[in-house]
Amino acid sequence: MTSTVVMEKVKDKEENYHLPQSAILVMEILRKEGPLTPKAIFKKTNFAPRTVRYALKTLLENGIVDKVPNLLDLRQNKYRLV
């Protein structure tokens, strides 16, 4: 998914919600890197774990990302752009 498609999706829903800057950064990292675990996102952003969890929750609620099983470690999920 290209960044223009992601940004169009965000602009389409812009009147319904406002994405925090942390969620936008997480979205951009997922766009560049592909599916990642929350721990990998913590390392790439240097955000606090709580901030990353909130950003992922916001993106999940708005249908921008979804969870997929991590086949290497089933205790964790990976997050990817829809």
What are the sequence ranges of the domains in the chain?
Answer: 3-81
For the stretch 7-45, pLDDT in tens is 555 555 444 458 999 999 999 999 999 999 999 999 999
pLDDT at 32: 95
* DSSP codes, 8-44: HHHHHHTTT----HHHHHHHHHHHHH-SB-HHHHHHH
Average pLDDT, the chain: 85
3-81: CATH number: 1.10.10.10
